[in-house]
Chains A and B, each alone.
Chain A
Amino acid sequence: MCGVIFLKKRIVKLKRRIVESMDFPAEAALGLARIQLLGQEKMYVENHRGVLAYRADCIRLKAEEGVLRIEGESMTLCELRRDRLYISGRISGLFYETP
């Protein structure tokens, strides 16, 4: 079990090194979330892996690199697609939750 996790981590590291050496865009090759903020009112997330929690003041999104927590007020999920989503409202904070 321990060995499997170790192997996984090594594969990720190897991938990262290859991507960096070849100068690939990381979001495409590694599946990292790509986030765009428009002021405080709009947010555009690509490469998400699903919605974990949704309340008007807090949204938790699953991403490749961990859990992304967005805090704000009266937030709505304006558009929701398999790989991208669009939040509007009053965004006050953006955090990565360490597992």
Chain B
Amino acid sequence: MTMVASDGYQSIDHKNLYSYLTTLPSSMLENLYKHPNPCLCMAIFRDLVPMAQKFVLRQLFIDQVLPKSALLAWITPDGRKDHDDAVRLLIELRIWSEAPSSAGLMGWKLNEHFRKGIQAVVVGGGPSWGGDVTPTAEETTPVDVAFLEKYARDQWEHVLHYLAGLKTRQTASHVVDVLATAGLVRGGNERDGGITQNGFRFLLMDTPSQVWRFVLSYLQTTQKWNMDLIECISFIFQLSFSQTGKHYSSSGFSDNQMKMLQHFRDYGLVYMRSGKRPSSRFYPTNLVMNLSGGASSTNASFAEGYIVVETNYRIIAYTDSPLKIAVVSYFSEMLYRFPNLAIGILTRESIRNALAKGITADEIIRFLRMHAHPQMRESSPILPSTLTDQIKLWEMERARFEFTDGVLYNQINSVKDYELLRNYANDLGVNVLSNNDKRLLVVTTEGHVPVRAFWKRQKKE
């Protein structure tokens, strides 16, 4: 099952931080490491695979090129794959570059700015990461974590409300812009373009993944607003190192950072007191905490359980939130609404509608499991297996064809020619299917060009 449905989605569908960073041009990464705040380097370092972290740390205070042969001596034969992965990652992130060592051997050179950043983290020094944290006189009434969580949830639900087409409040235009960049709503001139296939799937995700994808496409959108990408990324990292429940000063922030702060307030990533005069203090919420960890740092306890599903396909949602009911009704047929719960039923028809919208069976099942009522969670498996199996069966009956793009070679005259072509395609790994009796061969679209070239060469000889 492919996770990527359209190009707009693909571009923001990065699982973690570095898969996003590697798409940036190298000059951009260089500037990122140059940033005076070492928290950037730390955020990247923190997310490296252990092997890569070790390489960087060992090299941290050695001011010379590390020969490749020396590096290989560090690892056991079993660790070869990890080594290769780590090296590739470090090169992709431009942390390592190839350079000749003093003895003339080829080796790896640690990016100077990255080295300085990590050194500052290890031995101290450099500017404060999160800005000023000392409480001032105006903070006589501290904001507690429970309040921040509720605030974050409300604001984030508001974003989702717009996406789900429930227009309860006025939605800021920048929210719409970001959603359109992410390909979740149909953007462009008609503002009320409505939700796309990916939008439906987005609504079924857990909140940390949603926020992560949203912030990535926010970064893309900032370029449209002519904001400096480096500044934006560094600001997000800075936020991700802050603590919820504490407050930070925005004094000394640039215009762009203030603008982002205002935006993030609308998404529920930070809270700012509203008063007669704008407060210079802001409170990061739990939504912003896991950002640098990417979508992988999913906090399962974040999802509230409110759904009960029974073996007779009944689905009961203990909620009064129109958003939650709307999401549940994407794949179920709503029967009754009560003040505190809604009852629906999963039918072949309702699941088919969801599948036709581009939602997959796995996404539905994951959603149900994630939001299962605490009482459901006590049983094992959490969801009745008749139900999960049936949802999968309904999906499978739609997928009885398996399509593979390819190029067919047929009417090959001699067995010799056929075997020549087939073996060549096998060697390249592009042979999708071959039939010896009918002497035909299907190769992948990419494989067509080399195979054709090979055939032309053969014909001449």
Is the pairing of A and B real? no
List residues of A whose CB falls within 8 A of some B CB: none
Which residues does B use to contact A, with CB under 8 Å?
Answer: none
